[in-house]
Structure formats: structure tokens, C-alpha cells
Chain A
Amino acid sequence: MPGTTSGSSSHSSNSSNSSGGSGSRTGAGAGPLQGGPVRGRRSDTVRPGQGRSSRVRPYAITRGRTRFGRVLLVETLVSALNRPADPADRSLPELTAICDVCRGQMRSIAEISALLRIPLGVVKVLVSDLADQGRIRVHGADSVDGAELDGGDEVPGASKRDLLERVLGGLRKL
């Protein structure tokens, strides 16, 4: 079963050196800093099934869906629209709660997740549903990684630069 948070399970196959061509670093630990463990070695291990029972079953409230029609990133902003709930979804108080926290203000997917204590992947599915129902507006999540958005429409390099310039200008005013 895929994780709710990852659409790219191919990367989950894990390897201790997924970056490929970074061969030059291994063995570089012998620099001036003491200790010098060799980069590339992983000290953490995973022990599945060791006593950590499932706290929630997020799939239960998303009715098993982990695919959604829209690309919602953690920073994607949404705000509630004034539209009554679909009677069919009265069984999901989470939908109403999401609308409530982003009524009158924009919230990111991550903020909704944090404020309502709903895992990220579940928020994405529920927000996607709300957007489909017209109860929520998804704001233009202009992304630097434009190719990933809106079914592969390339964001031209110019608008990418434009966003970066705007971010830079904003940071310099802080």
C-alpha cells in the first residue's frame, strides 16, 4: 500500500547512496574536523514491526483513496468558499473543519495539517475533494518546479526567475 505522502514510491526502495554520482565524497572524512566518519554510511536503521502499533488509520477517513486529481504541495494555499456542504459528506467532520480553518484566510496544506492534527497526505486528499465540490479555492501555487504542476505545463524559465527575484526582494526587505 502506498504511503499517503508519497506519489513517488519508486524512490522508497531506498538505498544508502541514492544520489548516484557523488563518489568523490566517500572518504572525505579525513579533513581537518575530527571524527571523520565516512559520508555515505548510514547509522540509522529501521526495525519494522517493533512494537509501534498504528495510532490512526488515515485511510479510513479518506475511504482508501490516496490519489488525488490535483497536485497539492505542502505550501499550496487554499481558502474556503461559501458553499454548503455536500449532504453526502456529512459523515466527514474533517471536511467541515478544514473549511472552518481556512475561512476568511489563506492556509497552506501544511498549516491545515498542523492545526487540525490530520496527517499531510490525508489533508491533501480531503482538500482535493473540497476543491472538486467547489467549497475551497486552490490558489495558484506557483512552483519553481513548474513541470510538476497542472499536468505537466512547463513554467517558462522567465516566470521561474521572476518568482526567485520576488523571493529575493522580499528577503532583502526583512
Chain B
Amino acid sequence: MSGGATSTKIVVAGGFGVGKTTLVRSVSEIPPLTTEAVMTEASLGVDDTSAVPAKTSTTVAMDFGRISLAPDLVLYLFGTPGQGRFWFMWDDLVRGAVGAVVLVDTRRLADSFPALDYFEGSGLPFVVAVNQFDDAPVYSAEAVRDSLAVPDHIPVLLCDVRQRSSTVEVLTALVVHALAEEPAAAPEMV
């Protein structure tokens, strides 16, 4: 592979309807696109269908957007399927990611559990962003942290992903966190 441009990505995870696509749309320079991945039911690993290979297939859709951060640097934002049963897809998706945003709706906290569990185990830096819905009760970031048992070093932010500035704030917090997690460059040998 040779130079040219560099691309990287941030993964946005969370339950259905939590605002993943809204987040992507608020900062993307293109209208969010949808891509599909096709997998066989055998890939889902629920039943042993090895005796009946590729009996059926399932399509999973992901929305994504693009931000050109520099002429030679493109950041993609991927909204991932929220269900835990697609974890194996996330393995493929999160490779090379800067980190992940786990989007939370306080009315449906449990919807964020699969994503939280996944990213805690993945080693990928992530932040928890509480999307403030107009009709949802307001909780402090710390209350949400306690409820979700998010470790202290993981940032928890309140946000409104309809607002571009709020989304940028979340993404910025993630990258700052990722930098903090990244071990400092080894000192030069003298």
C-alpha cells in the first residue's frame, strides 16, 4: 500500500433509535449512506447449521458519514447495528478505529449494555454519550455513569446529537481520551 490519503474511522454504537444516524448526519459532509453486509445464518453462531451450510442469509445495514479533516485525511463515522448478536461484525468493523462512541438513551439504558460490554472487552477507547431527548428525564452524567457502572477513566458526556457542535464535542472528547489511553512514545535511547 502506498501513500496518498489517510482514512480512519470512529464507530458509533448503541441501541436502536438512540440517535446513531442523527449523530452521523449532524457532522457528515455527505448525507449518511447505508451499506449492507450479508451473512449467513451460520455466521450468527446461534444454531449449529454446519450441516446445512448457507441455508439462509441475513442482511445488516450500517449508516455512515464522512468528514474531510484535511485534504489528505478523511474521518468516517459508522453507526453499527446495535444488537449484541452482531458482535462478530463489530470485530471486523472496529479494526483500525480511533475509538467508539456508545450512545445512550436514559429511557432505555439496557439497550446500551451490549455495546458497553463489547467495547469494555475490546480494548478500543470509547466514551459514553448520553443523548438528551426532549421528553426524557434529565440525569447527570455521573448518575448515568453509576447506573451503567462505567469505570471512572471512561468519559461520560451529555449531548444532543442533533446539534453539530454537540456531536463535534463528543468526537473530540473521544479522540482526547484515545490519546490519553495511547502510551506515550518511547523515549529516545541516548
Binding site for B on A (CB under 8 A): 1-9, 11-14, 16-22, 24-25, 28-29, 31-33, 35-44, 46, 48-49, 52-59, 70, 73-77, 79, 106, 108, 110-111, 113-115, 117, 119-122, 137-145, 148-150, 156-158, 160-161, 163-174
Contact = CB atoms under 8 A, between A and B. Distances in A.
A77 B57 CA distance: 28
Nearest to B38: A119
A156 B44 CA distance: 35
A172 B171 CA distance: 10
Given A157-B186, A166-B69, A171-B69, A110 B64 contact: yes
Contact of B185 (A1, A58, A161): A161
Contacts of A79: 4
Given A54-B56, A171-B69, A5 B44 contact: no
B179 A164 contact: yes
Interface of B: 1-9, 27, 33-47, 49, 53-59, 62, 64, 66-67, 69-70, 73-76, 78, 83-85, 87-89, 91-93, 95-98, 106-110, 113-114, 116-118, 120-122, 139, 143-144, 146-149, 164, 168, 171-172, 175-176, 178-179, 182-186
A31 B146 contact: yes
Contacts, number: 298
A14 B179 CA distance: 31
Contacts of A19: 117-118, 120-122
A105 to B, nearest CB: 11
Given A74-B93, A76-B7, A163-B6, A32 B143 contact: yes
A103 to B, nearest CB: 15
Interface of A, secondary structure class, is loop
Contacts of B33: 110-111, 114-115
